[in-house]
C-alpha cells in the first residue's frame, strides 16, 4: 500500500511538473502577443486627435489588451496566485465609438497599468517560460543519448554543442545526469510559473484605492445576495412547514377529534384512531427534526465545526482525510456558514470530480479561519460554469469571506475558503484526525 501511495504521489508530482512546463510554454508563446498589442495600443493612442477614429480605436484596442490581461490573470490563478480584476464598472449608456466609453477607458488607472505590464510581462514570461521548457527538455535529451548511441552506432557522438559525448562511457553517464536534470526541471517549473504569476500581480492586481472601490461593490452585491438568500430560505422553511409538519398536525387534530366522538359508542375504533394519531405525531416530529437539522445541524451545535466536519466526512462514500487545528470555536453564524461551505464543496466533489479520495484542512491563524478542500479527481472545475461554487462564494461573502479555486485539467482540485473571525472558547478536541 505504501509503495502504491508513493507511486501515486510521484505520478501527481510529475503531472504537476509537466503541466507547469506546458503552461510555461503557452505563456512564452502568449508573451509574443504582448509586443504586438503594445504597438497597436501606441498607434491607437497616437491617433486619438483624429476625429471619430480615436474615439472608436482606443476603446477597441484597450478591450483587446484587457482580454490579454484577463488571460494572464487566469494563468496566474492556476499557478496559485489570485489576481482580481481592477477595472471600473462600465457606464450604463456607454456605446462603442462614443465619448463616454472612451472616457471610461482612458480615465481608468488599470488601463495604464495594463499597458505598463505588456513589455516587461513579455520579457519575464518569455524568459521564465523558455527556462521552464529548456531544463526538462535538456534532461530528456540526455536520457536518449545512450539508446541513440546503441541504435546509430559508435560513430555517432551525441548532440554536438547541445550535449557532446566523446565515447560510449560518457554516453552511459548521460543517463543519470539526464534523469537528475529532468527531475530538477520538473521540480523547478511550478516555481518559475509562480514567480511569473507574482510578477504579473505587481501590475495587474488592483491598487489599494481600486481594491477599496471593488470592495464596496462586492459588499453591496453580497448584501443583496444575502437578503435574497435569506428570503429564499424563509420561503423554503415556510413551504416545508406548510406542506409537511402543518399538514400532519391538521390530520392529527382531525383524528383526535374523531376519536373523541367515537370513544363512548365505539371504543375500539377510538383506540385505533388514537394509535394512528400517535404514529402521525411521531412522523411530524421526525420531519420537524429534519427541518431543524437543515437550518442548524445538531452535531454542529454539540461538537463544534471540527466535530461536525469529521462526522460529515465519515458519512461520505469516499475516504476523506480531516485535519483540524482550531483552538476554539467561532461565532455561531460564522460556524454555520463555514460548515455548509465545506459540506457543499464536498458534495460537489462527490458529484463531479470522479475523485478517489479527498482531504479537508481547517485552521485558524491571524484572525482568519481557512478551509482547504482537496481532491484527486479530474479537475476542470470552474466557478463560472455552475451554481454550486457560486453559491459557496455568496455564502462566504456574507461574512466578508473569500474563495479561491485551483482546478487544472487532470487535477488536483484545491478549493481554499477563508473567513475572518475570532475564536471564543478553548479547544476541547484533538488537533487532527484521519477518517
Whether residues 234 and 273 share a domain: the answer is: yes
Per DSSP, helices labelled H in 205-262 are 208-240, 246-262
User: Both 30 and 128 in a single domain?
Assistant: yes
The reply to whether 270 and 340 lie within a common domain is no
Last residue of a domain, one of 268, 295, 322: 295
SS3 165: coil
The answer to whether residues 154 and 250 belong to one domain is no
Domain check: are 315 and 282 in the same one? no
d(CA 312, CA 323): 13
pLDDT at residue 308 is higher than 60: yes
End-to-end, the C-alpha distance of the chain in Å comes to 17
Taking residue 83's Cβ as centre, other Cβ atoms within 10 Å add up to 23
pLDDT at 305 over 80: yes
For residue 115, the model assigns a pLDDT of 92
Same domain as 360, residue 219 = no
Element (H, E) at 148: helix 109-152
SS3 assignment, position 363:
strand
Q: Which of 271, 295, 319 is the last residue of a domain?
A: 295
Q: CB 229: neighbour CB atoms within 10 A?
A: 15
Buried b (16+ CB within 10 A) or exposed e, 263-275: eeeeeeebeebbe
Judgement on whether residues 337 and 406 belong to the same structural domain of the protein: yes
Say yes or no: 335 and 288 in one domain.
no
In this structure, the answer to whether residues 271 and 329 fall within a common structural domain is no
What contacts 420, CB < 8 A, 6 or more positions away? 367, 368, 369, 399, 400, 401
Q: Please give the pLDDT value at position 430.
A: 41
Pair 333, 413 in one domain? yes
pLDDT in tens, 234-291: 666 666 666 666 666 777 777 777 777 777 777 777 778 777 777 777 776 766 666 6
pLDDT score recorded for residue 178: 80
| 328 and 287 part of one domain | no
Alpha-carbon distance values, 335 to 62, 208, 302, 419 (Å) = 44, 30, 12, 10
> 295 Cβ partners below 8 Å, 6+ apart?
237
Q: How many domains does the chain have?
A: 3
Count of residues in the chain: 435
Q: What is the CATH number of the domain that holds 420?
A: 3.30.565.10
Contact (Cβ atoms closer than 8 angstroms) between residue 413 and residue 381 = yes
Secondary structure tally for the chain: helices H, strands E: 11, 6
Question: Which of 43, 59, 44, 48 minimizes the C-alpha distance to 98?
Answer: 59
Closest CA to 331 of 355, 359, 351, 301: 301
Tell me which DSSP letter residue 164 carries: B
Q: How confident is the model at residue 427 (pLDDT cuts 50, 70, 90)?
A: very low
pLDDT in tens, 340-383: 888 888 888 888 888 888 899 999 888 889 999 998 888 877 76
Q: Do 73 and 200 form a contact (C-beta atoms < 8 A)? A: yes
**What is the grid cell recorded at 334?**
460564522
Determine the Cα–Cα distance for residues 156 and 160; give it in Å rounded to an integer. 10
pLDDT tens per residue, range 74-119: 888 888 888 888 887 777 666 666 677 788 788 888 889 999 999 9
Q: CATH number of the domain at 284, please.
A: 1.20.5
Dig out the grid coordinates for 153 from the structure: 552506432
Q: What span, in angstroms and rounded, lies between the C-alpha atoms of 310 and 328?
A: 16
Residues 343 and 384 sit within 8 Å (Cβ to Cβ): no
- pLDDT at residue 397 greater than cutoff 80: no
Cα–Cα distance, 176 to 180 (Å, whole number): 6
d(CA 251, CA 222): 42
Grid coordinates belonging to 5: 501511495
Joined together, the cell numbers standing for residue 257 give 377529534
- pLDDT in the model for residue 435: 42
Model confidence pLDDT, tens digit, residues 161-195: 456 666 666 667 777 888 888 888 889 988 999 99
CA distance 57 to 50: 10
Q: How many CB atoms lie within 10 A of CB 425?
A: 10
- 147, 273: one domain: no
Residue 32 vs residue 398, higher pLDDT: 32
Residue 148 pLDDT: 66
- 116: domain range? 2-204
Q: What does the mean pLDDT of the chain come to?
A: 78
Q: Which among 167, 185, 204 is the end of a domain?
A: 204
Task: Note the pTM of the prediction, 2 decimals.
Answer: 0.52
Q: How many CB atoms lie within 10 A of CB 127?
A: 14
Nearest CA among 394, 392, 399, 386 for reference residue 416: 392
Dihedral angle of Cα 141, 145, 147, 153, to the nearest 10 degrees: 140
Amino acid at each position: 500500500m505504501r509503495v502504491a501511495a508513493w507511486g501515486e504521489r510521484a505520478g501527481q508530482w510529475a503531472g504537476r511538473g509537466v503541466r507547469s512546463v506546458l503552461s510555461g510554454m503557452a505563456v512564452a508563446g502568449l508573451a509574443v502577443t504582448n509586443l504586438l498589442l503594445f504597438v497597436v495600443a501606441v498607434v491607437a493612442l497616437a491617433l486619438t486627435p483624429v476625429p471619430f477614429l480615436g474615439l472608436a480605436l482606443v476603446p477597441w484596442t484597450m478591450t483587446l489588451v484587457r482580454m490579454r490581461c484577463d488571460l494572464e490573470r487566469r494563468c496566474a490563478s492556476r499557478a496559485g496566485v489570485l489576481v482580481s480584476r481592477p477595472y471600473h464598472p462600465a457606464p450604463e449608456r456607454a456605446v462603442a465609438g462614443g465619448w463616454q466609453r472612451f472616457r471610461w477607458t482612458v480615465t481608468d488607472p488599470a488601463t495604464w497599468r495594463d499597458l505598463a505590464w505588456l513589455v516587461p510581462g513579455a520579457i519575464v514570461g518569455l524568459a521564465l517560460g523558455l527556462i521552464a521548457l529548456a531544463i526538462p527538455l535538456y534532461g530528456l535529451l540526455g536520457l536518449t543519448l545512450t539508446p541513440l548511441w546503441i541504435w546509430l552506432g559508435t560513430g555517432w557522438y551525441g548532440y554536438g554543442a547541445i550535449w557532446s559525448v566523446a565515447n560510449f562511457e560518457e554516453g552511459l553517464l548521460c543517463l543519470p545526469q539526464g534523469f537528475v536534470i529532468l527531475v530538477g526541471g520538473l521540480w523547478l517549473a511550478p516555481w518559475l510559473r509562480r514567480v511569473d504569476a507574482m510578477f504579473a500581480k505587481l501590475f495587474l492586481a488592483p491598487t489599494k484605492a481600486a481594491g477599496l472601490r471593488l470592495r464596496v461593490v462586492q459588499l453591496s452585491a453580497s448584501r443583496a445576495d444575502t437578503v435574497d438568500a435569506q428570503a429564499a430560505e424563509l420561503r423554503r422553511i415556510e413551504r416545508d412547514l406548510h406542506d409537511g409538519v402543518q399538514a400532519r398536525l391538521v390530520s392529527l387534530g382531525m383524528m383526535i377529534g374523531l376519536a373523541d366522538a367515537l370513544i363512548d359508542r365505539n371504543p375500539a375504533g377510538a383506540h385505533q384512531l388514537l394509535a394512528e394519531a400517535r404514529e402521525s405525531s411521531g412522523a411530524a416530529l421526525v420531519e420537524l427534526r429534519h427541518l431543524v437539522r437543515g437550518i442548524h445541524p445538531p452535531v454542529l451545535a454539540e461538537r463544534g465545526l471540527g466535530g461536525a466536519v469529521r462526522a460529515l466526512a465519515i458519512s461520505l462514500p469516499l475516504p476523506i482525510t480531516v485535519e483540524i487545528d482550531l483552538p476554539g470555536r467561532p461565532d455561531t453564524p460564522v460556524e454555520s456558514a463555514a460548515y455548509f461551505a465545506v459540506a457543499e464543496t464536498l458534495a460537489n466533489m462527490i458529484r463531479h470530480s470522479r475523485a478517489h479520495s479527498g482531504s479537508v484542512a481547517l485552521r485558524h491563524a491571524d484572525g482568519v479561519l481557512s478551509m482547504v478542500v482537496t481532491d484527486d479527481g479530474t479537475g476542470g472545475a470552474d466557478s463560472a460554469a455552475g451554481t454550486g461554487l457560486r453559491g459557496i462564494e455568496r455564502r462566504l461573502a456574507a461574512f466578508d469571506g473569500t474563495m479561491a479555486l485551483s482546478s487544472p485539467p487532470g487535477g488536483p482540485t484545491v478549493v481554499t475558503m477563508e473567513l475572518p473571525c475570532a475564536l471564543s472558547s478553548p479547544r476541547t478536541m484533538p488537533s487532527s484526525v484521519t477518517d
